[in-house]
Amino acid sequence: MAIVVGVRFREVGKVYYFEPAQEPLALNDKVIVETVRGVECGEIAMEAKEISDEEIVKPLKKIIRKVTEADLKRMEENKKKEAEAFRICEQKIEKHKLNMKLVRVEYTLDGGKILFYFTADNRVDFRELVKDLASVFHTRIELRQIGVRDEAKMLGGLGVCGRPFCCSSYMGDFQPVSIKMAKEQGLSLNPVKISGTCGRLMCCLKYEQDSYEHLLRVTPKIGAVVDTKEGRGTVTETNLLTGMLKVSLERNPNAAPVSVHRHDVQVLKDGKIRIEKAELDALKGIE
């Protein structure tokens, strides 16, 4: 077991563990730490607590100190330099004719490294760009290719629901989402309707998935053969939330399906949820 504090480097980002400093630390205190990127400023997101060794990524680094006025002043200066570095990098990208989009520039607190985050459809050979940038800034340069979800998290914005992006407002880590979830929740498999602003499947598909999985276990699926009070039939439509089914009776297949509740049927053979190849092809690339 070990005593650790949690530090976050972005307003909505992953929490990393560090060894506490000698001085007392409270939530939201700004602290200086050393990371693989260099010396950075973070914020206490979790007060000191004991956790098991299995949860720790070793070696566990120690918090250097709380921020000082000099640190805050340097951070403000770095913000100004980041804006200028962004402008220069965009010019260099255009000069080298690289198919990439610059998203963000970050200086480490001590100025020992500048990180350039970008998106691109394919791998980019940016070796000459790095040399060019190093000759301008005379410090270590690192270019990192990120995904469109990471871009949305960094830049923020409004989702189709009209609220700020979940990823940039409170989600620390991305949750896995799949086309299967959309299918199981009875959503239209229209890319426009199930994709977020980033062009990938909406993160909120995950929120109610556990409930839908439970309802799917207790509700006959479309195509299921069931016995009802009015006879045997096949389920043609389901409403998972209300539990109501529409069943086409074998004794009168041309008549309108009857409406029954899932509690009032006996399942003889359940159906399956299938995603057609044409649907998968239409949704290719949005997971």
For the stretch 121-168, pLDDT in tens is 999 999 999 999 999 999 999 999 999 999 999 999 999 889 999 999
pTM of the model as a whole: 0.80
CATH of domain 72-146: 3.30.300
The helix/strand/coil state of 225 is: strand
Q: Are 89 and 102 in contact (CB under 8 A)?
A: yes
Structural class in CATH, domain 222-269: mainly beta
Angle at alpha carbon of residue 118, lines to 114 and 124, rounded to 5°: 105
b/e code 88-127 from CB counts within 10 Å (16+ = b): ebeebbeeeebebebbbbbbbbebebbbbbbeeeeebebe
For the stretch 211-225, pLDDT in tens is 999 999 999 999 999
Domain coordinates in residue numbering, the chain: 2-67, 72-146, 222-269
Angle at alpha carbon of residue 142, lines to 70 and 125, rounded to 5°: 160
